[in-house]
Structure 1
Amino acid sequence: MTNSKPTAPTAPANPRTTTTASLKRLLPFARPALPALGASAVAAIVATVCGLTFPLVIQWIIDGPIARRQLGGLWWPAVLLVILGVAEATLFWARRMLATRPTMRVEASMRAALYERLQQLPVSFHDRWPAGQLLSRAVSDLSTIRRFLAFGLVFLVVNLATFVIGVGILITLSWPLGLIVAALAIPLVLLSFQYESRYQILARRSQDQVGDLATVVEESVLGVRILKAFGRSSHLRRSFLRQAGDLRDTELSKSKVISVLWAVIIALPEIALGIALVLGVRQVAAGTLSAGTLVAFFGTAMGLRWPIDSIGWLLAIANDTAAASDRYFEVMDAPVTVTSPDHPIPAPNPSGRLRLKDVRFHFADAAAVDGHPADTLRGIDLDLHPGETVALVGATGSGKTTLSALINRLYDVTGGSIELDGVDIRDLDLDVLRSRVSVAFEEPTLFSASVRENVLMGKPDGSDDEVRAALAVSRADFVDELPWGLDTRIGEQGMSLSGGQRQRLALARAVVAHPSVLVMDDPLSALDIHTEAEVEAGLRSVLAGTTTLVIAHRASTVMLADRVALLQHGRIAAVGTHSELMSTVPAYRDLLASRDDAARAAEVNA
């Protein structure tokens, strides 16, 4: 198996995808929030109209009570201004309250859908994708989408409506001056389209770099013991700083693009207002325009500054969100290749009969030979009888772990078939299959949860008695010495425990459900000789009634088996008892002898 993972692309997967098309993909998730967002937009538009009414009231004051020197007539306009101010503030509060909860629910539903998808996707997908890239999509990208829905989308609508309403008011007040302000919309639209494509590429690159940076941080935290032990912290720090510098450069490039756009967006209204001011003053001087109308015109025009100035910022948010949407749907669109059949065959009564028939397998990224991917497994035939224990031995890289991952469909065979109780495992419901086949991996993965919760992942409805019985089998009596026994929380990856303790808990998790088939990938490799002997004694009671395939590297583990299968060059080279193979198969004898010598040397050094 290759462990290499791709570097995230620095441009959209489909460069022809427009911002609008990317944003439209959010519609199925956003649809429940649309009524609230519509109400939020209406509240904001009405609040803006209240603000645009201020200059008209001021026009009334200047051309009315002030021009006629009737100060008593100021009361009603003053009361109206207070009402408009209170209404504007209240409506903006309502806008935020209307948008916040629904958009948070959208974010939560998208995050839940992404998590569910990650659980459905095959192991081959996770082999290729760095964890930091997935983490950044689940956290920062979804936060970007929520902010756009709650604020950016609403104000794209609100600011457009504000501009149209405001220009309408300006034209009503003075159509020549109003047309001057309206004319600036043409260069703004053209300029926005010009800068959109450049910013879109940079937005995608930035988000991919955030994912890469998250991967470096995650690996440095999980591997902190290795980094400290080998004194390599400074090396990874340099790598982190280099990637952080790349991200900084991308963000600076984004800032340069948006700053130019923003500068022009600010300059154009200033020019238009300057021209309008000169013409307006001349009209007032000529008596064709009242002073109140000119003040109202410029008061309304200044009220349009925020909708105009925010165009660049809103376009930036829209492009960031489009890139986040593309990244999100890259995961959601990934094919789920290991699934339950549409019409699964009812599982027969469990007996534990396991049969491998001409099993072939290659990884998707395997090197091609004669135009075809090279098989890791090249035709495996193996029959395990109910209750039988078969040890699988072979040199490093022979495909033992790969074979073990096929039994419960972590990967699917690319040729041949695997049958459980006479039924092809691809015809069984996936949940049923995995309830009957348990796996204990060589590298145990524990979660930040209690001992009880970690063990019961093998049987969610199990009792404490079943947990303790499984711990007894794996000889994990150290649990009783932990501060809170079964309730003791294990740190991330179980690093607070020794390697042997982690393996014993993982073994307890595998046996707690009393599976029909138990697959053990060298589950005792981290144990010393004495503890291994104790665990093997406990396992014998379980293995007596369970069909077991155990990947073995030491003769002591092989002794647990009724039969032994030698895997060589992707094929089963020999099958027999341990003593038969020792006497008749030199390759088997040499393999076990070399490993026992290595194990004894490691024990002496320890």
Structure 2
Amino acid sequence: MRASRRTPRERVQPRTLRRLAARTAPTPPSSSSPPQRPASTVRSLLRLVDWARPALPRMLLGTLAALCASLIALAVPQVLRELVNGPLLTSGSRTAVLAAVGLVLVLGVVEAVLIWSRRVFVATPGTTVEATMRLDLFRHLLDLPLSFHDRWSTGQLLQRAMSDLSTVRRWLIFGLLMLVVSITTVVVGVGLMLWTAWPLGLVYLVGAVPVMVLGFRFGEDYRVVARRARDQAGDLAGRVEESVHGIRVLKAFGRGRDALGDFTRDAEGLRETEVHKARTLSRVTLALGVIPETAAAVSLVLGVWLASQGRLSVGALVAFFATAAVVNAPVERIGQLLAMTLDARTATDRYLDVLETVSEVQDPPRPLAPPTPGPQGARVELRGVAFTHDDGDRPVLDGVDLVLEPGRTTALVGLTGSGKTTLAQLVPRLVDPTEGQVLLDGVDVRDLRREDVRSAVAVAFEDPVLFSESVAENVLLGLPDGADGPGAAERERLLAEALRVAEADFVADLPDGVETRVGEEGLSLSGGQRQRLALARAVAAHPSVLVLDDPLSALDVTTEAVVTERLRDVLAGTTTLVVAHRTSTVALADRVAVLEDGRITGVGTHDELLREHPHYRYVLTAMSAQDDDEEGAA
């Protein structure tokens, strides 16, 4: 993973995104409660136009090629009619017969070339549309707030990014094209059948009535079951992701059979839905095969009688049934194409469920220039800050007032669930307060671009997340690349300094040193090693403000003491907020802020609060008991 700043989009977003208004985020779908959908399949699929527009010229050429191939196939029966009524029945010359055969051969070759051209025209643009939609989805996922990712499962998002978009691509380059061609072929073919032998054509038209009724009913039934199947597939993917991520816990507690049972239940539910889908499709496919063939049988009896009465030529009879053979193929294929269209509609709806979710944390229309921090760091001030979760009944924070002085380290302490982590997330603007202001050197962070805020504020979380890249790329993640970033020598210096401060000398013993890939989520490392690399990442960014959410909880006391001492030196010019969950972490701070019932009820030195603040003493007692429990467990 390349370490870089966020950059503006290199192209204009589709109008679908620009049209978004203040829309609330939808509830993640589940197989038990199908979400509301647009009024029609056409309306739903028309929303793909913004992405498909660059590919439309080639897609239209592909459709034109396929249409021409279909019309050529319909022209062959007319050649056969002239051949039968002419040279064959009138003992015409061999030359006329050979000419007709040659014409059929030429038409067949041209048809084959057009079919090949159709594939050439549509293959590349289809994959381009899919790639663009996937890129837009991932970009939007990066932009969405933490609350969205807390609600949505990884499996559902993966299904939308991979399977759903593949379905849309296949429909665009094949399903849509062939649906247009099939309908055109049927309409033109039936017209030719009426022109060739109108009594037989009327019989064929009568059979179209039940076909239309069945097609409508099929669409209503299949749409519901198609949505259910895709939601269940997303749930199943989430089950796999959750089990693989927690494989150590499952093995440690011997709960593999339980995980297998849950997976089996979800997989069986998906299988039953897919069987329902197949049965629904098979019924309409059977009808689309039987009805036209029945109409053809009735037409054959009627046609033979009309020919025997001299009211229909043999050539017309041959042409009629040759045309019917061409028309029957797309009629029988329409069931599959309708199913593909409804699958594409479902995939599009699921894709837009995510893409049309508006981020609650937005850049301002006219952002202010970021303030220039002083030599000792930036000043952070929280004024009357309140925060309530979307689904919460009571505020997590309720009127917080706190000032983080430049160059000073403030420890934030409170009981479990008091809102410490939420308050820490307000500073880098991972969430916005429901009320009040968070000021960075006197400027409300909501008046700054998120990129500017997060360039000034670095965070080290209690639960560190590493990416499946090298140690160096993980540690230097917060540094910009290119002309705006430091040179190679400076990057190496910052890397070495950050690893030294975080007491991450274990990196030298890794197989490839700082170039060692740490594996998915860094799970090849211990918890303490991951925390030290996450701390090094925050230090390497050299931010104006550093937020440490109990970043040393997995370290032993000796290592923590060394890291704490080195942090004192490196943080001399940085404003630091430390969320403390252990008594030893409080030692890092110049001041301590006590969070109680959603408010800051005390700010002072450790000694001052011990003397004057009963709740602080109670919190320290609880933290000490927790430390003793952890040492006993170790």
Bin the TM-score by the shorter chain.
Answer: over 0.9
Match of 1:142 in 2: 165
Match status 1:383 vs 2:383: no
CA separation of 1:6/1:39 partners in 2, compared to 1, >3 Å: closer, same or farther?
A: closer
Q: 1:259 aligns with which of 282, 297, 300?
A: 282
Q: Determine if contact 1:121/1:335 at 8 Å carries over to the other structure.
A: yes
Task: Quote the offset at 1:12 in angstroms.
Answer: 5.2
Shift of 1:162: 0.6
Written as runs of structure 1 = structure 2, the 5 A alignment for 1:133-532 is 133-351=156-374, 352-367=378-393, 374-461=394-481, 462=486, 463-532=491-560
In structure 2, runs of 5+ residues without a counterpart are 1-26
Match of 2:560, SS state, is: helix
TM-score between both structures, scaled by the size of structure 1: 0.95
SS at match of 2:392: coil
**Amino acid of the structure 2 residue aligned with 1:363:** H
- Identity percentage over the alignment? 50
Whichever residue aligns with residue 156 of structure 1, its letter is L
Tell me the equivalent position of 1:370: none
Change beyond 3 A, Cα 1:569–1:603: same
* 1:589 is aligned to 2:617: yes
Supply the AA of the counterpart residue of 2:329.
Answer: W
Question: Residue 565 of structure 1 aligns to a residue in which SS?
Answer: strand
**In the alignment, structure 1 residue 121 sits paired with structure 2 residue 147:** no
- Shift in Å at residue 7 of structure 1? 5.3
CA distance in 1, matches of 2:120, 2:471: 43
Residue 55 of structure 1 corresponds to 77
Separation (CA, whole Å) in 2 of partners of 1:336 and 1:7: 18
Pairwise CA distance, 1:15: 4.5
In structure 2, distance between residues paired with 1:507 and 1:408:
16
Task: State the distance in 2 between where 1:79 and 1:592 align.
Answer: 97
Judge which range, 593-602 or 419-428, deviates more: 593-602
Is structure 2 residue 589 aligned with structure 1 residue 579? no
Aligned residues: 596
Instruction: Give the TM-score of the pair, scaled to structure 2.
Output: 0.91
State the one-letter code of the partner of 1:28: D
**Unpaired segments of 5 or more residues in structure 1?**
368-373
Does structure 1 retain, via aligned residues, the 8 Å contact 2:382–2:403? yes
Distance 2:305 2:33 in 1: 53
Of residues 518-527 and 43-52 in structure 1, the stretch that sits farther from structure 2 once superposed is: 43-52
Other-structure match for 2:567: 539
The answer to whether structure 1 residue 570 and structure 2 residue 598 are counterparts is: yes
Question: d(CA) in 2 for partners of 1:53 and 1:553?
Answer: 81
Deviation at 1:523, TM superposition (A): 0.2
Residue by residue over 1:234-283, the C-alpha shift from the partner in whole angstroms, topping out at 9 and shown as x without a partner, is 11111111111111121122222222222222121112101110011112
Give the distance between the partners of 1:561 and 1:519, measured in 2 at CA.
Answer: 12
Q: CA deviation at 1:585?
A: 2.7
Q: Is the 8 A contact 1:7 1:212 kept in 2?
A: no
Name the counterpart of 1:38: 60
Per-residue deviation, residues 93-115 of structure 1 (Å, max 9, x unmatched): 11111111111111111111111
2:132 alignment counterpart: 109
Shift of 1:68: 3.8
Q: Distance in 1 between matches of 2:43 and 2:470?
A: 45
Secondary structure in 1 matching 2:463? coil
* 1:550-591 per-position Cα deviation (integer Å, ceiling 9, x unaligned): 011222211111011111111112211112222333332333
| Counterpart Cα distance in 2 of 1:342 and 1:233 | 51
Q: Deviating runs (4+, > 4 A) in structure 1? A: 9-12
